[in-house]
Structure 1
């Protein structure tokens, strides 16, 4: 029996197994076995070259962040890219107009952000249909996903697209589980947790690891993780990505439905490329999800230059700002003075580990 046959057999058994307390462990082991075979299938395809990017999909990252436009064919990704930039991505009323990745650079509040129009993917993309593996593999290299869907069938498309991405190891808008997993040479399975676990225990963890032929490992769980999260840590090939949901073609639905979709997800944005409606909010949503901050600098005895900002990730420090300005500045820095939201008083003298906030003004003094 081949790997695909084994996957189908396990999926059938999962479908006919009733979910209750007595079958809980059996279902979890079936899921573990299913995840193992799916991972084996991906590894098998990668060895054959089926998981690579290939011609037209190997896009060099440029700018301060890259955003992958993911969606089904004919949802308006190319139209959106054209509206947001000066790049001409081929547009037509038929499916599969875009056949390769088309990158462009857009200026968003002073930051150079690379938008990449991906070819439309279809159901079964994770198994190679419609060159889906190449598309999703290219998306894994980006910093964020902008999922473009038709407003009229938004929830169905989101569910299907999320499933395809998850099957290729992409986790959207979720954080990496707080768990340490380390293979060791001997000593068996050492399992410990710092909190109460409701989905996992030592015996179940051992059985799952034995499915993967892991008999010696150290595990420390710091939060109440699910079985799927535990499997992600064991497999270790997941990419955790931020995702914004862009509901296009709102000109085809009612205003009540538009309002509902705008509230569907924390990172939802509605627009119409046909009407040029709300496109500025798409740009704002990308900025919000990328979680950038703008930092201004000033020279001693001069006013700050508020027309030219340095763009950093939220949570960045003075040390990271120095590195951004010049690769030698961090080692030469003596002290920094900060004005703004991160300062306890105005101004405040700080060191390299001071965490900056949006709109801060920084003056850096270096050793001669």
Structure 2
């Protein structure tokens, strides 16, 4: 009986949140943007962001059974799209996975992992269940799917030649669960204080947001005393992202499947539409295995891999089997990948290559490595 009452209360609470989201969305549509309304609009957007986070947590956005996948390999890329666009076929052709394929919607009911081995890198590919409109609000277990792909290093926005109109829909659903595609975190620092009010410092002219709007957003998040330092011309939405603090920034690649069903003229039309969308893309056919090597190359390049050649002390570098890392990797990242005790017992490292001023330069754990650097790690001996 208590469980039934809890479920009833839980459901009512979620419905209340969904209704409030709809109400604010309608108010935003009806409110004209001008100098007099910009502060009010910013408050509404901040409220909307908070409500969406609540809705995700109430609808199981933390991930459900079968949706938690342990990351493995050198990086992870996830196919995300509507049902029946061929995500499972692509996964099966690119990896060692066995994702069920069918000519009907919702064949994939859990997230299926596979491993693509390419140019020495092991890339984990995920086939996520198809999402639908409203997925970010919990429809079709959408929040569980979308939350599970938040940890991916690359999002593969997957459509077929007849469903290009799904691309902005997928992007919007991802946006609503805090996934920012092809963006970098805004260069903004917020230091909350006990007193002193809101102090805003900007190193660049702000054309999309002003101090009053910044204060309004912070107050909506119950922050009344803080030092804010802004180093780029940010928008209201970007500032809300910084305050919310739970956004992830992931690169994307558009994958258009089933090109074997189109003639040359229609493919040209598709490419024109994709150029308007403004994202990097690749046209493929999973069934006919067309352009799959190009897709592998694009995935590899988008993930920003670099090769690090390890050189044991007193020996030659191993040029045959480089260590595959991501761009921006540090010596510490390499140590953590090689052995869990390497960081604890680290003394120093020697580097030859583009990241240092002279060959064999001695560096610490925080040193950033470049592609094709040669690295020697010196550890304490027990």
Same fold (TM over 0.5): yes
SS in structure 1 opposite 2:282?
Answer: strand
Q: Mean alpha-carbon deviation: is it higher for 57-66 or for 178-187?
A: 178-187
> In structure 2, do the counterparts of structure 1 residues 216 and 309 end up closer, same or farther at CA, with 3 Å as the change threshold?
same
Secondary structure at the counterpart of residue 162 of structure 2: helix
Distance 1:350-1:267 versus aligned 2 partners, 3 A rule: farther
Q: Given the superposition, is the C-alpha separation of residues 327 and 2 from structure 1 closer, same or farther in structure 2, using an over 3 Å criterion? A: closer
Q: Does 1:182 find its partner at 2:191?
A: yes
Indicate whether 1:282 and 2:307 are aligned: no
Superposition CA RMSD, Å: 2.6
Aligned to 1:238: 247
TM score, norm. by length of structure 1: 0.88
Larger mean CA deviation between 77-86 and 98-107 belongs to 98-107
Find out whether 1:152 has 2:152 as its counterpart: no
Name stretches of at least 5 consecutive residues in structure 2 with no aligned partner. 1-14
Offset of 1:333 from its aligned partner? 4.6
**Which one of the candidate residues 206, 219, 243 is aligned to 1:210?**
219
Q: Name structure 1 gaps, 5 residues minimum.
A: none
Equivalent residue number for residue 181 of structure 2 = 172
Greater CA deviation, 83-92 or 28-37? 28-37
Report the 3-state secondary structure (helix = DSSP H, G, I; strand = E; otherwise coil) of the residue aligned with 1:152.
coil
Distance, in Å, in 1 between the alignment partners of 2:76 and 2:320 is 24
**Pairwise CA distance, 1:261:** 6.2
Q: Which residue of 1 aligns with 2:127?
A: 117
Q: Tell me: CA distance 1:212–1:341, structure 2 relative to 1, closer, same or farther (3 Å).
A: closer
1:1-368 matched pairs, under 5 angstroms: 2-43=16-57, 45=58, 50-154=60-164, 156-253=165-262, 254-257=266-269, 259-260=271-272, 263=275, 265-299=278-312, 303-329=316-342, 331-333=345-347, 336-338=350-352, 340-342=353-355, 347-352=359-364, 354-364=367-377
Corresponding residue SS for 2:163? helix
Pairs aligned (count): 361
8 Å CA contact 2:96, 2:115 repeated in 1: no
Asked whether the 8 Å contact 1:140–1:239 carries over to 2, the reply is: yes
